[in-house]
Amino acid sequence: MNSYAITVVGHDRPGIIADVTEALSGHGANIEDSTMSLLRGHFAWTLVVGTDAELDAIDLSLQPLRHPGLAISVLGVADENDPSQLNVKPFLLTVHGADRTGIVSAMTRVLASHGGNVTDLTTRLAGGLYVIAAEVDLPDVVNVDVLNDQLAEVANELGVTAHLRPTDADVL
């Protein structure tokens, strides 16, 4: 079984999901993981599929859907479990404040310096208010109090507030 990461980005319109999944189903592709969002009227979808088909066949079947307003890419991915992610705990980082350049970069740099892996990230700009919600896996060995202090220090420098709290692991 082959695994492929597929991205679909472009101007939103009805039927994009139906068109892409129809092309993929012709190869017996199973959607194993996906996330989709509308960003200022633009469709953005990333999915991982499993199929016995080869990359070139998948790519060719998606070709008729591509046009200047819709970009589709296909990338082969290894189907592997990362053993370093076995001893992690899930957290949620929320950041609120006045919009300015560098907020995401600064906050995620602090997380990364502690081995934090951002697994989901949402940002919104509403008027002048900037909001971040990031799901983060932190290694068990991280001192969360020290991390919180560093996040608060960087947030203060940026003129925003930041809160890191533990969450429950995903249960589906």
State the span(s) of the chain assigned CATH 3.30.70.260.
Answer: 2-77, 87-166
What average pLDDT does this structure show over 50-64?
Answer: 97
User: Whose structure tokens read 């919180």?
Assistant: 148
Measured between alpha carbons, how far is 164 from 148 in angstroms, rounded to an integer?
7
Write out the two tokens for 112.
């990364």
> Does the pLDDT value for residue 133 go beyond 70?
yes
| Angle (CA) 167 171 172, round 5° | 145
**16 phi/psi in degrees, rounded to 5:** -60, -50
> Does the pLDDT value for residue 84 go beyond 80?
no
Measured between alpha carbons, how far is 12 from 19 in angstroms, rounded to an integer?
13
pLDDT band at 79 (very low <50, low <70, confident <90, very high): low
Beta strands in 22-159 (DSSP E): 30-39, 42-51, 70-77, 88-98, 117-126, 129-139
> Does the pLDDT value for residue 88 go beyond 80?
yes
Residues 2-31 have pLDDT tens digits of 999 999 999 999 999 999 999 999 999 999
| Predicted TM-score (pTM) above 0.85 | no
Domain 87-166: CATH architecture, name and number where available? 2-Layer Sandwich (3.30)
- Say how many C-beta atoms besides its own lie within 10 A of residue 13's C-beta: 10
Q: Which helix (H) or strand (E) holds 103?
A: helix 103-113
Measured between alpha carbons, how far is 5 from 52 in angstroms, rounded to an integer?
14
As a whole-number percent, the residues of the chain with pLDDT over 90 amount to: 89
Pick the CATH number of 2-77 from 1.10.10.10, 3.40.50.11740, 3.40.50.1370, 3.30.70.260: 3.30.70.260
Secondary structure of 15-42 in the HEC alphabet?
CHHHHHHHHHHCCCCEEEEEEEEEECCE
pLDDT band at 170 (very low <50, low <70, confident <90, very high): low
